[in-house]
Amino acid sequence: MWLLVGLGNPGDEYAGTRHNIGFQVVDELLRRIGAGAPRSKFGALVVEGQLLGERVIFCKPQEFMNVSGQAVARVAQFWKAPLAHTVVIHDDLDVPFGRLKLGTGGGAGGHNGLRSIIADAGGPDFIRIRVGIDRPPANWRGVDYVLAAFSGAERRELATVIADAADAAESIVGKGLTAAMNQFNQKKTKPEKP
């Protein structure tokens, strides 16, 4: 049993923002398995499905980022999903755009969604897929940057970044975290500038 959580904020005004990339990755995984429409349960949109022969609960918390851990905790408790098999997909300011960093444990790193999950879902020892969104420009506040839409240049690469993050989630479920880390932590999804 696996619990795959994509972080984001509910509502059309947040769709397509940097902070919602976790939602977009879960949507890509659901598209790949041909899943039906999610159902609303425990403050989240939830789909039960199979991924590489494993039972998976796909979860998109709908109670806003800073309290998303409450929905994650309720979903995990209901389906008895262990923390060690919980994968949280989220944006990360400290990772360059187009890069992924996979790992487990650690702090929140200033991310309110992670802080909420650590507080409400049983601690920090869940798996993370950190999807790089890069640091904001000098004249931007972090909160404004994460709640803004991707730039035109980023949007041209976004489908590849989302596909890579979905591939990473599949690799974790199918091969385990260590193999997935070896495959994705060094992979450059963004083309190098000449």
Q: What angle do CA 77, 79, 82 make, to 5 degrees?
A: 65
**75 close to 59: Cβ distance less than 8 angstroms:** yes
Per the annotation, the verdict on 111 as an active-site residue is no
| CA distances in angstroms from 138 to 17, 28, 45, 142, 145, listed in the order given | 19, 32, 36, 10, 11
Q: Which of 19, 85, 90, 111 is catalytic?
A: 19
CA-CA distance, 78 to 14, in Å (whole number)? 28
CA-CA distance, 23 to 8, in Å (whole number)? 6
Residue with tokens 């949280």: 88
CA-CA distance, 181 to 11, in Å (whole number)? 32
| CA distances in angstroms from 168 to 83, 105, 124, listed in the order given | 18, 17, 20
- 46's enclosing H/E stretch is strand 44-51
Strands 44-51 and 100-104: unpaired
Q: What residues are annotated to the active site?
A: 19
